[in-house]
Amino acid sequence: MNGRRKFLRDVRAFLVSISAIGGVLKLLPAKAFAREASRKGKWYGFGVSVDKCIGCARCMEACKTENDVPREPFYFRTWVERYIIRKDGETVVKAIESNAEAAPDTSGDRSILRSFFVPKLCNQCADPPCVQVCPVGATFQTGDGVVLVNVKTCVGCRYCIQACPYGARYLHPETHTADKCTFCYHRISRDLLPACVEVCPTQARIFGDVNSGSSPLTRFRRMNKIHVLKPALNTEPKVYYASLDGEVR
Amino acid sequence: MKKILSKMPDALARLLVVFAALAILGAFVVIVLIPKDMKDVKIQWADAIKAEQAKPVLYAGFHACGECHERIYEKKKTGYHRDLSCETCHGPAYAHTQDPDEVKPVIPKERAFCPLCHAYNPSRPRGFPQINPAAHNPLKACASCHNPHDPKPPTTPKECSACHGEIARMKAVSHHVQLECTTCHQAPQQHKISPRSVKPTKPQNREFCGKCHARDAKDRMANNAPRIDLANHGEKYVCWQCHYPHSPEVE
């Protein structure tokens, strides 16, 4: 009698643990497959050639105009940082003003080792932390790899703004919802370039489909040595930087 | 079943009925009353994508302007500003393409505009044309000397050394000091206007150097030039793989 009861209990324990392990194993590849699947077809990415950026801020202007971003120099979907690296190793990073005249003159400063401009925007991560933390499912990734915010369901809790390692999001002061770069989704759906790419005078910004063999982005990624921002976070950014300095975070 | 019901206290049976009613009401609210798009995040996302795509376009794009402004478009295509979009300077122009007479894009004429790109800034990449806006022809409009659709320096350099100073200084102290740049390079006039797109020629083969340095060289300049036998002097290589022509070594 005792032996039969023990046998039945063992069988139950075995079945429960097998199904639990099976469930985990089934979940893991399912997630990986889901991501692979979405990478087929259009999968938008962005290229930034740091060596070409002249810091004219035309991209910031065009972005604000096209996307109705508040004019105050606090809200940006894309911005340009000026890096100044001094001989003693100190690095000063400052977002430039859209009026370049206001920039301090550093031409006589002999303590500067090198300086350059780095354009920044939402990295449209393939594995976006902002999407993971949204409690109401208001921010999501489209099938072509662009992370969008649904203003109708966003409750303005700012979790995504905190979660973004690149500081690419802000709370819109009028709608009180999270706002971010959309790669100008309304433009790219009509086969136009994002506004910042359109106006960049030196072609420092490149837009295209990662999966297309002939897109300008593919050519950019073939011809340059490419790096992404904060690769250790495994967010798989889709904004690819050429000639990126090691000091850039 | 009947036995269980009859055994159940009356109060409990009523409570069950109330719970059942609540459950049915709840299910009704969730399934029927709450609209589908409030429950299904996929529908919300599809709507959000549609709303995003419906946003108005303000920048018309590079090719829209060329349809009417053909002459400027063609002129700009050959100049330094060829890769520049019209809307970089003239601002968003989609409204202008829809109603060309009513809406006019801006024409930035003030002196503060061009220095947005062309003011000297040490952070800008080397080689990008930059000026000091305070010292560069003060009070004159940029467009009075430079055509913005085909900008170039008002005077083109006459000597090679104006741009290639490093090579000129090196050649000046080398054995090739007597040679003109044009002895080895043919520089088309256009090179002085578009240095990057029209390049001067470079010697292509060993026989070119051999015109002076071969045993049987007959060139007028070749009097004192060191002679080699072209057939067996480093036959696998072209000359400039070992000898830098702007400063050839003594031996």
- The string of pLDDT tens digits covering residues B137-181 is 888 889 988 999 999 877 766 788 877 877 888 888 888 888 889
- Mutation site, B116, B120, B132, interface A, largest A CB count within 10 A: B116
Asked if the model's pLDDT at residue A30 lies above 60, the reply is no
Q: How far is B34 from chain A (nearest CA, A)?
A: 15
Taking the C-alpha atoms of residue A243 and residue B80, their distance in angstroms, rounded to an integer, is: 23
Q: Does the distance separating the beta carbons of B87 and A199 come in below 8 Å?
A: yes
A77 pLDDT band, cuts 50/70/90, is very high
- The string of pLDDT tens digits covering residues B6-41 is 788 888 989 999 999 999 999 999 999 999 888 889
Could you tell me if B227 and B219 are in contact, meaning their C-beta atoms sit under 8 angstroms apart? Answer: no
Could you tell me the two tokens for A140?
Answer: 């999501």
Taking the C-alpha atoms of residue B2 and residue A70, their distance in angstroms, rounded to an integer, is: 71
Q: Does the distance separating the beta carbons of A192 and B58 come in below 8 Å?
A: no
Length of chain A (residues)? 249
| Of A219, A215, A221, A214, the residue nearest A240 (C-alpha) | A221
Residue A25's pLDDT is: 67
B234 φψ region: left (φ > 0), alpha (ψ -120 to 50), beta (else): left
Q: Does the distance separating the beta carbons of A100 and B119 come in below 8 Å?
A: yes
Q: CB under 8 Å to A59, separation ≥6 — which residues?
A: A78, A80, A119, A195, A196, A199, A200, A205
Could you tell me the two tokens for A45?
Answer: 């990415």
| Of A232, A234, A221, the residue nearest A48 (C-alpha) | A221
Could you tell me the two tokens for A209?
Answer: 């489909």
Asked if the model's pLDDT at residue A40 lies above 90, the reply is no
User: Mean per-residue pLDDT for B196-215?
Assistant: 88
Q: Does the distance separating the beta carbons of A148 and B48 come in below 8 Å?
A: yes
Phi, psi of B242 (to 5 degrees): -110, -35
Chain B contact for A195 (CB, 8 A cutoff): yes
Per-domain residue ranges of chain A: 1-38, 44-79+120-249
In this complex, the residue of B49, B59, B81 whose CB is nearest that of residue A148 is B49
Q: Considering only CB atoms, which chain A residues are within 8 Å of B148?
A: none
Q: How far is A62 from chain B (nearest CA, A)?
A: 8
Confidence (pTM):
0.72
Chain B contact for A193 (CB, 8 A cutoff): yes
Q: Considering only CB atoms, which chain B residues are within 8 Å of A55?
A: 121, 123-124
Q: How far is B119 from chain A (nearest CA, A)?
A: 8
Q: Considering only CB atoms, which chain B residues are within 8 Å of A52?
A: 125
User: Mean per-residue pLDDT for B181-191?
Assistant: 88
Using a 10 angstrom Cβ sphere, with 0-12 exposed, 13-18 middle and 19 or more buried, the burial of residue A46 is buried
Q: Does the distance separating the beta carbons of B61 and A200 come in below 8 Å?
A: no
- The string of pLDDT tens digits covering residues A155-210 is 999 999 999 999 999 999 999 999 999 999 999 999 999 999 999 999 999 999 99
Chain B contact for A211 (CB, 8 A cutoff): no
Q: Is A149 helix (H, G, I), strand (E, B) or coil?
A: strand
Q: How far is B130 from chain A (nearest CA, A)?
A: 10
In this complex, the residue of B44, B122, B125 whose CB is nearest that of residue A106 is B122
In this complex, the residue of B59, B117, B119 whose CB is nearest that of residue A198 is B59
The interface residues of chain A toward chain B in range 124-143, judged by CB-CB distance below 8 A, are 137-138, 140, 142
DSSP string, chain B: -HHHHHHS-HHHHHHHHHHHHHHHHHHHIIIIIS-HHHH-HHHHHHHHHHHHHTSPP----TTTGGGT-HHHHHHHHHSGGGGS-HHHHH---HHHHH-TTT-------STTTTHHHHB--TTSPTTS--B-TTTSSTTS-GGGTS-TTS---SS--SSGGGT-HHHHHHHHTSTTTTS-HHHH----THHHHSTTTSPPP---SHHHHHHHHBTT---GGGTT---B-TTTSSTTS-GGGTS-TTS----
Query: Which residue of chain A comes nearest to B122, CA vs CA?
Result: A107
Q: How far is B122 from chain A (nearest CA, A)?
A: 6
CATH fold of A44-79+120-249 reads Alpha-Beta Plaits (3.30.70)
Could you tell me if B103 and B95 are in contact, meaning their C-beta atoms sit under 8 angstroms apart? Answer: yes
Radius of gyration of chain B (CA): 39
Residue B221's pLDDT is: 74
- The string of pLDDT tens digits covering residues B55-103 is 999 999 888 999 999 999 999 998 889 999 999 999 999 999 999 999 9
Q: Does the distance separating the beta carbons of B88 and A186 come in below 8 Å?
A: no
- Mutation site, A116, A118, A139, A198, interface B, largest B CB count within 10 A: A198
In this complex, the residue of B57, B116, B122 whose CB is nearest that of residue A56 is B116
Q: Does the distance separating the beta carbons of A65 and B91 come in below 8 Å?
A: yes
CB neighbours of residue B251 within 10 Å: 4
Residue A130 host element (H or E): helix A129-133
Chain B contact for A84 (CB, 8 A cutoff): yes
